[in-house]
Structure 1
Amino acid sequence: MEEQFPPLQNDLILRVARGETVERPPIWVMRQAGRYLPEYHEAKGGRDFFECCRDPEVASTLTLQPIERYAGLLDASIIFSDILVIPQAMGMVVEMVDKKGPHFPNPLRSPDDGQYAEVMQRHVDVAKELDYVYKAITLTRKKLNGRVPLFGFCGAPWTLFCYMVEGGGSKLFKEVKTWIYKYPEETKALLQKISELCVEYLALQVKAGAQLIQVFDSWAGELSPASFKKFSQPYLTYIAKHLPPRLKEMGLEPVPMVVFPKGAWYALDAACDMGYNIVGLDWLHDPAEAVKIVGDRPIVLQGNADPGVLYGSHAAITEAVTEMVKGFGWHSRKKGWIVNLGHGITPFVNPDDLKFFFQEIHRLTKTNAQ
């Protein structure tokens, strides 16, 4: 039986995603639920990061914290989870190491190490393995009580592959470069398997109550333009192409889809033709140039303030917001833009400075503000 949820009171982001002209641009930010908030640490308690993700009650509490703190300033929530739940569902061990980040004790080192065959042959039941995510989404939708829509998300196949072979974050990306240049066919086979799991995972998130989805390609910028065309673009396109028919099969309506190929500034034109409604920009993009590249295609842009501006003065934040509003042509267009940072909120940001960022967006994008 399909869940019944309270009616939506703020559909601003959904209207923008549909290409409508609106009264102001919607606002949300990546990692808005997280460690920069003191209430996050209180709610997390002694649990480790993945324990929080696996406990629907805790995950929903953390998701709602920024919505409550910044009431009336945010137009979307994003479920508290992690992109690495898919590799976990595929049978890989992932730990979150304090002050270091995610760590795979046994990464995939070559197609001959036995683990690759195991991962490729394993049947992954994402409905069962990731049931805790769907439960958290359903619970969060109910607790939101229609205040704002809820994002679901997944990691892009390329980014998940990077983590699975590097064993964590990297500066050199030695292992993943070895894979793509030494074992390209085995790389593509695993990327395809991950893509198929992403489609099913996202479809089940929508079934559970997600109203928009975002695909995070956090390591896209590690690829050359030629390699991006081989190892990222086809798999991002696969997700965009196969998710809507999968939703239809399940008796569900399509939802707005966001692609965020971080660092791959050269791929913006290609990203506009992948089948997503919204393209997320990191802070390396010039908004006015991005608007030109999009042209008359019905693509909404999302972004793209440098998260580092939140360490700066209020005058610097005002300047960054002013430049964005102008760059995205807000006052002449009144559509096609979702306000966000160019990546997630970084640690040690003062929550009051983020609030000031939100307030400046509201102030500077009012109909009468020029």
Structure 2
Amino acid sequence: MSTEANFPPLKNDLLLRAARGEKVERTPIWIMRQAGRYLPEFHEIRKNHSFFEICRTPELACELTLQPIRRYGPLLDGSIIFSDILVIPQALGLEVEMITGRGPVFNDPLVTPEDLSRLKTEVDVDKELGYVYDAITLTRHKLEGRVPLFGFIGAPWTLMAYMIEGGGSKTLSKAKSWLWKYPTETHGLLQKITDVSVDFLVGQVRAGAQLLQVFDSWAGELSPHDFNKYSLPYIKQISTMVRQRLAESNLPDVPMVIFAKGAWYALEDLTDIGYDVVSLDWTIDPEYARKVTQDKVVLQGNMDPSVLYGGEEAIRETATRMVHAFGKDGKHIANLGHGILPTVDPEALKVYLETIQKVSAEIKK
């Protein structure tokens, strides 16, 4: 296992400094899902390999992680390991396939609490998900210190919802009905996912991840009451336990990011649960977010990914407005308000990256 001492020295630490709340000379930028479907070079590799085969093959996952770094060079300040949030349900014993045009499909989802018996009682996370660690370590070396590397997981509520719905859903009616019909079993399942998540994140740092992000993609599908009951306690537990375990293991105390998509109502609560960075979707006004969080945390985001279809002028105008809204002295990491969409022209993203870099450097002078 490599240690920080024998990884290549980091040449661009802008993202790490910003994530810690330090003053920076310009706003750092990376993009959720920057390694993936919008890039033609991704599709070249995908022609010969299934999605999860790529995730489980460290050399391929590393290659896809590096593709946007090669393409955009100094326009990107961070990389994120090519993987998927659904590797945790797989480690728990469920089968997941990625079907083109449909997304993830669970062939045998959880229907009633009796199905929980199909999940593994004990999960050897290092054994089940060691391929992600290998990909992270390899990628740290191959990045040659160009930018820091993110590791990540899906939040317990989001993963539970997938495991019950069997894939994507417009209503989450199956998953949400569990909350009211089977509250005890729901909390048991969320705790099981949380325990695996903590082990997995600590393992990712041990393997070389320099930042961690927790994706609660379906947070906004819950009412404030249900979010406070079924999501917030578990994402809080993750940040607390991960930091505790990192300290006990003499591992770096890496910055942690929470992204609870759609949960605008939880913004104040999210500033107080141990994360350094709160990522915003595009429905939250940056000035409002700064006011609510009182600059206690770094904010990340948050342009609507669909603006990338709007042409150069719209991209430049929206990106410029966004940088100004987060403010000259704002603690900000630029990103989109969700993952980049698969049919975006890579050149449109380049315009966005260039605009952020130029405008943020100008206003921070």
The TM-score, its normalising length taken from structure 2, stands at 0.97
Q: Is the 8 A contact 2:16 2:255 kept in 1?
A: yes
> 1:361 aligned to 2:356?
yes
1:72 to 71, 74, 83: 74
**Which residue identity is paired with 1:20?**
E
Percent of aligned positions with the same letter in both sequences? 58
Hey, what does 2:301 align to over in structure 1?
303
In the alignment, the residues of structure 1 paired with residue 338 and residue 289 of structure 2 have an alpha-carbon distance, to the nearest angstrom, of 16
> 1:336 aligned to 2:334?
no
CA distances 1:311-336 after superposition (whole Å, capped 9, x unpaired):
0111111111122112101x2x0x51
Hey, what does 1:247 align to over in structure 2?
246
**Which residue identity is paired with 2:156?**
P
CA distances 1:133-161 after superposition (whole Å, capped 9, x unpaired):
00000000000000000000000000000
In the alignment, the residues of structure 2 paired with residue 10 and residue 295 of structure 1 have an alpha-carbon distance, to the nearest angstrom, of 28
Q: Secondary structure at the match of 1:340?
A: strand
How far off its partner does 1:178 sit?
Answer: 1.3
How far off its partner does 1:249 sit?
Answer: 2.1
Q: Is the 8 A contact 1:23 1:367 kept in 2?
A: no
Q: Is the 8 A contact 1:43 1:61 kept in 2?
A: no
Hey, what does 2:346 align to over in structure 1?
351
Q: Is the 8 A contact 2:25 2:364 kept in 1?
A: no
**Which residue identity is paired with 2:345?**
N
In the alignment, the residues of structure 1 paired with residue 186 and residue 362 of structure 2 have an alpha-carbon distance, to the nearest angstrom, of 50
In the alignment, the residues of structure 1 paired with residue 72 and residue 314 of structure 2 have an alpha-carbon distance, to the nearest angstrom, of 21
In the alignment, the residues of structure 2 paired with residue 154 and residue 369 of structure 1 have an alpha-carbon distance, to the nearest angstrom, of 33
How far off its partner does 1:365 sit?
Answer: 1.2
In the alignment, the residues of structure 2 paired with residue 342 and residue 160 of structure 1 have an alpha-carbon distance, to the nearest angstrom, of 20
Question: In the TM superposition, what are the counterparts of 1:147-162 in structure 2 within 5 Å?
Answer: 147-162=146-161
Hey, what does 1:31 align to over in structure 2?
33
In the alignment, the residues of structure 2 paired with residue 309 and residue 142 of structure 1 have an alpha-carbon distance, to the nearest angstrom, of 34
**Which residue identity is paired with 1:303?**
G
Hey, what does 1:9 align to over in structure 2?
11
In the alignment, the residues of structure 2 paired with residue 172 and residue 308 of structure 1 have an alpha-carbon distance, to the nearest angstrom, of 22
In the alignment, the residues of structure 2 paired with residue 155 and residue 326 of structure 1 have an alpha-carbon distance, to the nearest angstrom, of 31
How far off its partner does 1:368 sit?
Answer: 5.5
How far off its partner does 1:129 sit?
Answer: 0.3
In the alignment, the residues of structure 1 paired with residue 364 and residue 199 of structure 2 have an alpha-carbon distance, to the nearest angstrom, of 44
In the alignment, the residues of structure 1 paired with residue 209 and residue 112 of structure 2 have an alpha-carbon distance, to the nearest angstrom, of 36
2:109 to 91, 107, 110: 107
Hey, what does 2:311 align to over in structure 1?
313
Hey, what does 1:268 align to over in structure 2?
267
In the alignment, the residues of structure 2 paired with residue 160 and residue 60 of structure 1 have an alpha-carbon distance, to the nearest angstrom, of 24
**Which residue identity is paired with 1:91?**
G
In the alignment, the residues of structure 2 paired with residue 27 and residue 323 of structure 1 have an alpha-carbon distance, to the nearest angstrom, of 15
1:58 to 49, 55, 60: 60
> 1:211 aligned to 2:213?
no
Q: Secondary structure at the match of 1:70?
A: helix
**Which residue identity is paired with 2:17?**
R
Q: Secondary structure at the match of 1:151?
A: strand
Q: Secondary structure at the match of 2:73?
A: coil
In the alignment, the residues of structure 1 paired with residue 364 and residue 283 of structure 2 have an alpha-carbon distance, to the nearest angstrom, of 26
Q: Secondary structure at the match of 1:355?
A: helix
In the alignment, the residues of structure 2 paired with residue 211 and residue 110 of structure 1 have an alpha-carbon distance, to the nearest angstrom, of 39
Q: Is the 8 A contact 1:36 1:347 kept in 2?
A: yes
In the alignment, the residues of structure 1 paired with residue 40 and residue 130 of structure 2 have an alpha-carbon distance, to the nearest angstrom, of 28
**Which residue identity is paired with 2:304?**
D
Q: Secondary structure at the match of 2:361?
A: coil
> 1:178 aligned to 2:177?
yes
| Cα distance change of structure 1 residues 295 and 369 upon mapping to structure 2, 3 Å threshold | closer
Q: Secondary structure at the match of 2:278?
A: strand
Q: Is the 8 A contact 1:240 1:257 kept in 2?
A: yes
| Cα distance change of structure 1 residues 249 and 96 upon mapping to structure 2, 3 Å threshold | same
| Cα distance change of structure 1 residues 16 and 165 upon mapping to structure 2, 3 Å threshold | same
Hey, what does 1:117 align to over in structure 2?
117
In the alignment, the residues of structure 2 paired with residue 9 and residue 48 of structure 1 have an alpha-carbon distance, to the nearest angstrom, of 34
Contiguous gaps of at least 5 residues in structure 1 = none
**Which residue identity is paired with 2:148?**
P
How far off its partner does 1:250 sit?
Answer: 1.9
Contiguous gaps of at least 5 residues in structure 2 = none
Q: Is the 8 A contact 1:212 1:257 kept in 2?
A: yes
Hey, what does 1:280 align to over in structure 2?
279
Q: Secondary structure at the match of 1:152?
A: strand
How far off its partner does 1:2 sit?
Answer: 4.0
In the alignment, the residues of structure 2 paired with residue 210 and residue 200 of structure 1 have an alpha-carbon distance, to the nearest angstrom, of 14
CA distances 1:323-357 after superposition (whole Å, capped 9, x unpaired):
2112101x2x0x51000000000011000010000
Q: Secondary structure at the match of 2:113?
A: coil
Q: Secondary structure at the match of 2:28?
A: coil
Q: What's the RMSD between the two structures over aligned residues? A: 1.2
Q: How many residue pairs were aligned?
A: 363
The TM-score, its normalising length taken from structure 1, stands at 0.96
Hey, what does 1:325 align to over in structure 2?
323
Question: In the TM superposition, what are the counterparts of 1:139-154 in structure 2 within 5 Å?
Answer: 139-154=138-153
Hey, what does 1:231 align to over in structure 2?
230
Q: Is the 8 A contact 1:307 1:341 kept in 2?
A: yes
In the alignment, the residues of structure 1 paired with residue 216 and residue 106 of structure 2 have an alpha-carbon distance, to the nearest angstrom, of 19
| Cα distance change of structure 1 residues 365 and 165 upon mapping to structure 2, 3 Å threshold | same
With 125-134 and 319-328 compared, the bigger mean Cα shift is at 319-328
Runs of 4+ with deviation above 2 angstroms: 367-370
In the alignment, the residues of structure 1 paired with residue 214 and residue 358 of structure 2 have an alpha-carbon distance, to the nearest angstrom, of 30
In the alignment, the residues of structure 2 paired with residue 87 and residue 322 of structure 1 have an alpha-carbon distance, to the nearest angstrom, of 40
**Which residue identity is paired with 2:237?**
Y
